[in-house]
Chains A and B, each alone.
Chain A
Amino acid sequence: MNYFPDEVLEHVFDFITSHKDRNSVSLVCKSWYKIERYSRRRVFIGNCYSISPERLIARFPGLKSLTLKGKPHFADFNLVPHDWGGFVYPWIKALAKSRIGLEELRLKRMVVSDESLELLSKSFVNFKSLVLVSCEGFTTDGLAAIAANCRFLRELDLQENEVDDHRGHWLSCFPESCTSLISLNFACLRGEVNLGALERLVSRSPNLKSLRLNRAVPLDTLQKLLMRAPQLVDLGIGSYVHDPFSEVYNKLKIAFQRCKSIRSLSGFLEVAPHCMSAIYPICGNLTFLNLSYAPGLHGNKLMKLIQHCRKLQRLWILDCIGDKGLGVVALTCKELQELRVFPSDPFGAGNAAVTEEGLVLVSAGCPKLNSLLYFCQQMTNAALITVAKNCPNFIRFRLCILDPIKPDPVTNQPLDEGFGAIVQSCKGLKRLSLSGLLTDQVFLYIGMYAEQLEMLSIAFAADSDKGMLYVLNGCKKLRKLEIRDCPFGDAALLEDVGKYETMRSLWMSSCEVTLGGCKSVAEKMPSLNVEIIDECEQMEFNLDDKQKVDKMYLYRTLVGHRKDAPEYVSIL
């Protein structure tokens, strides 16, 4: 089979970068497997419990970049107790002991301790990039270790983590010799930062392309930073409050005019809406605008800002933009591909300012739209059908009606037909989240039409087991299925247990599955970990198989039961 020396094959494999493709390459034959594994530099592990660090290290000795995901997605919404798992320490410990020259670590929904960060910072000489998304468990002390010890650090990107901010001088811990920073994002930190240290750091980082500041960075510092880094491509503004007649503001206007490369803008964690005109010069080039943390920006000021952004491809916004504001988006942003509309009042009585009207307007005005996350007050079948017709290119479609079982307010019907139109029209749909009043019918449509669907999120829907069965039978490419508060029971769960081995994971909470049903799955499929999460330990008192299970999380794994589960998790 091998007409070429290994080096040639390796060179060819270099051009194959997607994880999926490289995985396929490794399955062709033994010699390709061998060449592939030695030349593999980047590995993605979607569930940290599906494999062990030791096996990873054994197979890919040349590993440089590792991506790990820990907790299940519904952990984002407080459905998974804090100490459920997803600890990164064992991975870092194992990698540190090995000869792996780790350069990049990207973590999502994992528990990261200061200890792990310190070990990380001291174990890998060429460590370059740390990206933490929705993680927790660390403090600014851990960041100080990274800053102090990673001499060639290029990227420190903290996105939406819960960090215990000790207000220490972690920024000052970057040594004078550190001049390699390309990306620095600390927007999620809530504490003060040493502004002088920040200014000096930016001054000595000529390659800095991405800088996202936290709320504690005031406008005059922003102005100074921009003057020192006019080459920035991605900017996250911390505080944007002050007097529009002041000297600082004039200087800021000049600074923005010099920043000709900014394509991505976010933050405005604190904002005075009457100062937005300074930003207009950079709006025309923006491809990404994230105002989803800026509730102070709405109404006409927001509208005016958006009207300047003609090249926008991705827009993240709060629902205070209103249907009218979305109309402005539809008229202005003809290149729009991704839209996310978040609720500005998550605890309120569901008074979202956007409805189906806004979505229809955007779908009509932005034909390139392919990714949507939309929190709204209501939705109609007619609107969804129109959207499906206008935008057949959706890859991601996530709709969240604030009242999760609300029917079509015009016809009082379930939203089955609307979502059915979406899956039928959008042949490339990979991710779907449903809400509103839904019966088994919508799942029939999903099973029939959503051939490329990989991830499905269901809440408060369906009438019977049939719903779940339609999906399991129909969606051949399904990888992640997460269900809450639906009447799916053992019959659906047990229909095709082999299917779960083809998927990454299945989450079911507040459904009708019983302990006996879960045990059955575990018995038949030793390659799955079936976890029962029982926070208040009601199961201890009652081991009856007929007992309904509150939360079940099952996932395929090559390494059996994990040893770090807390007491309230039983692995069957």
Chain B
Amino acid sequence: MVLEKDLNLDATELRLGLPGSSEESLRISNKRALPNMNDDSGVAAAKKCDQETAPPTKAQVVGWPPIRSYRKNSLQTKKTEAETGGMYVKVSMDGAPYLRKIDLKVYKGYPELFKALEDMFKFKVGKYSEREGYNGSEFVPTYEDKDGDWMLVGDVPWEMFINACKRLRIVRGSEARGLGCVV
């Protein structure tokens, strides 16, 4: 419906609806890709007064799939939590009086993680190389994986790391030299 602003055709247009209402919300809810949907059912669904007016896809047919609201709400909550729930791990640093906790999900990759650790513990991570680890740094980031082994941070892709990492430990460079050399 193209509206000519100057002529204000909208105001003088003859319509079947009540004054002030627009046909658009009705039409949108009529769009169901299902047969046997006569106009009235579509209208009836549209007239669910508190329903949102976003165009429904097949998945949003009211009451379909037929699962109890209690169950639907439970799964929805879990989904949201799974998406927003943090991945908190403990971080210890040699010589620090107490441990910290960080949410790995917050970082997009190793550089961001290192920056956060450096800020938190006031140290510098140093340069990572595949061959020599963090050779040359005073402190080296390590982590405990699901098998209980202590690994050097940075060897595996980020996604794999955050799923495997159970806790972090920042060790003194002198101790870590062993980790850097062993392949």
Contact = CB atoms under 8 A, between A and B. Distances in A.
A405 B35 CA distance: 8
Nearest to A73: B66
A535 B74 contact: no
A487 B37 CA distance: 9
A457 B59 CA distance: 20
Contacts of A390: none
A510 B49 contact: no
| Main DSSP-derived SS at the A contact region | loop
A550 B43 CA distance: 9
Contacts of A245: 148
B177 to A, nearest CB: 28
A571 B82 CA distance: 46
B44 interface: yes
Contacts of A535: 47-49
B67 A346 contact: yes
Contacts of B36: 460, 462, 485-487
Interface in A467-490: 484-487
Contact of A484 (B57, B63, B74): B63
B63 A403 contact: no
Interface string B40-77: 11001101110000000111111111111111101110
Q: Interface size for chain A: under 10, 10 to 19, 20 to 34, or 35 or more residues?
A: 35 or more
Interface stretch (A11-19, A164-172, A347-355, A418-426): A347-355
Contacts, number: 107
A538 B39 CA distance: 14
Contacts of A457: 66
A404 B38 contact: no
A162 B45 CA distance: 25
Given A346-B65, A535-B48, A535-B49, A550 B40 contact: yes
A293 B74 contact: yes
Nearest to A405: B34
A343 interface: yes
Interface stretch (A76-84, A86-94, A494-502): A76-84
A342 interface: yes
A79 B38 contact: no
Interface in A417-467: 433, 457, 459-460, 462
18 contacts: A76-B66, A76-B67, A77-B67, A78-B62, A79-B62, A162-B70, A245-B148, A292-B71, A295-B75, A296-B78, A345-B79, A347-B60, A347-B76, A349-B59, A404-B64, A459-B66, A485-B34, A548-B38
